[in-house]
């Protein structure tokens, strides 16, 4: 999991300069007040000038600090770039990763808030890409299944799925996918607030006006909900893996690899061998029965 203890970035040089200017202004005001008599009215003026100067300094410093920070919920670090991204040599077409003519298709039903989906992305997807997608044997197709919202409440699964499709509108689904999983901090914890989702888009170089409007409006929400209303039979959690139309009962690498290998070479798969043996046995039995029957 990403480190949650990232230090808060220091304020900028500009904020330090503004702090010095505010301090000088405060000193000037205090000097002016100090040239007056020490009567009660002048002492009150001194106090008021002091309070005003301190307030101005706090506002200036606070404003500069806000300008240097990214949107984040209390307790969460600012969104950080992913440690690894999908290599540029992998063909991409929207939410399809890999060559269009790849003989095997892996359909991935996933949720950006799901911790197991994050682990699948970090560990298993990387191996699948290296061993099968890059050589042109496999293409991976992403499908949203926002199941975490139904478990913990809120809309972070739907909002992040919509934001990823907003990025897809600008040809950046998979880079945005990588950023989301790099900045997942548990379920329903505010990691995928709309402000953070928009900030991630700005870091990817997306056209922010278009992207931010898409995020704020939930432009793809209905598309996501419609697709989820017709999930394949048996898909009940995330991640769910379907290889060439067959739902797997595992998302561990060895299990997924075995399914892909079987789809690539069906004649060598155990089920094919068992089927061939059963067919041969049945044929032999039929032949023996025909030989034993009276003419």
What residue spans define the domains of the chain?
13-67, 92-262
Pairwise CA distance, residues 23 & 9, whole Å: 23
Beta-carbon contacts of residue 105 (< 8 Å; ≥ 6 apart): 138, 139, 140, 141, 243, 244
- Asked whether the beta carbons of 212 and 198 are under 8 A apart, the reply is yes
User: What pLDDT, in 10s, does the model give residues 221-246?
Assistant: 999 999 999 999 999 999 999 999 99
Supply the pLDDT for residue 171.
96
Q: Which residue has the tokens 């199941």?
A: 147
Which parts of the chain sit beneath pLDDT 50? 1-72, 272-295
Question: What dotted CATH number matches 92-262?
Answer: 3.40.30.10
- Asked whether the beta carbons of 144 and 117 are under 8 A apart, the reply is no
Supply the pLDDT for residue 74.
54
Supply the pLDDT for residue 226.
98
State how beta strands 92-93 and 104-110 pair.
unpaired
Beta-carbon contacts of residue 190 (< 8 Å; ≥ 6 apart): 73, 76, 156, 196
Supply the pLDDT for residue 269.
61
State how beta strands 104-110 and 138-144 pair.
parallel
């Amino acid at each position: 999991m990403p480190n949650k203890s990232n230090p808060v970035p220091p304020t900028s040089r500009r904020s330090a300069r503004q702090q010095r200017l505010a301090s000088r202004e405060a000193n000037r005001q205090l000097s002016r007040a100090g040239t007056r008599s020490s009567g009660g009215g002048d002492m009150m003026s001194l106090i008021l000038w002091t309070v005003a100067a301190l307030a101005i300094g706090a506002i200036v410093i606070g404003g500069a600090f806000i300008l240097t920070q990214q949107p984040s919920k209390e307790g969460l670090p600012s969104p950080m770039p992913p440690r690894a991204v999908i290599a540029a040599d992998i063909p991409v077409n929207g939410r399809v990763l890999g060559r269009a003519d790849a003989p095997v298709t892996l359909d991935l039903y996933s949720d950006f808030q799901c911790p197991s989906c994050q682990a699948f992305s970090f560990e298993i997807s990387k191996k699948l890409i290296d061993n099968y997608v890059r050589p042109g044997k496999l293409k991976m197709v992403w499908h949203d299944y926002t199941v975490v919202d139904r478990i913990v409440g809120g809309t972070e699964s739907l909002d992040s799925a919509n934001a990823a499709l907003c990025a897809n509108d600008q040809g950046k689904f998979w880079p945005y996918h990588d950023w989301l999983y790099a900045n997942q901090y548990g379920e329903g914890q505010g990691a995928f607030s709309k402000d953070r989702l928009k900030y991630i888009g700005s870091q990817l170089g997306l056209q922010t006006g278009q992207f931010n409007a898409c995020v704020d409006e939930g432009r793809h929400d209905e598309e996501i909900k419609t697709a989820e209303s017709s999930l394949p039979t048996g898909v009940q959690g995330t991640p769910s893996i379907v290889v060439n139309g067959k739902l797997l009962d595992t998302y561990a690498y060895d299990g997924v690899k075995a399914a892909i290998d079987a789809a690539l070479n069906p004649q060598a798969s155990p089920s094919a061998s068992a089927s061939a043996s059963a067919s041969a046995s049945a044929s032999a039995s039929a032949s023996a029965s025909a030989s034993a029957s009276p003419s």
